Structure 1
Amino acid sequence: MELKDINTCELVEELKKREGVEVKIAEPHKDMSVSVNGPAVVLVVVD
């Protein structure tokens, strides 16, 4: 199995379990701002 064959929702669920991962959830129709002090990688996943 290759990573490209795994659903995005499954990848996100696994990443959420990892050390160093912080999860912020924007509720429907609510704006959210995120600020970081790098180094950091910010992923925005709309699902």
Structure 2
Amino acid sequence: MQITGIIRPSETDGLTVEAEDYQDSRTRLEAQIPDGWQLIQTKTS
């Protein structure tokens, strides 16, 4: 039997970007996510 577990870093970190609209902000934010990391949540302000 073979079992495979998918893992991700347990550390948390935050990225902040500014742009004129949500879509542009989201695109800029996603471009900054390092390989192997997942975007878990976004917050607008």
> Which structure has more RCO (C-alpha within 8 Å, separation ≥ 6)?
2
Report the TM-score, using the length of structure 2 for normalisation: 0.34
Q: TM-score, normalised by structure 1?
A: 0.33
Larger radius of gyration: 2
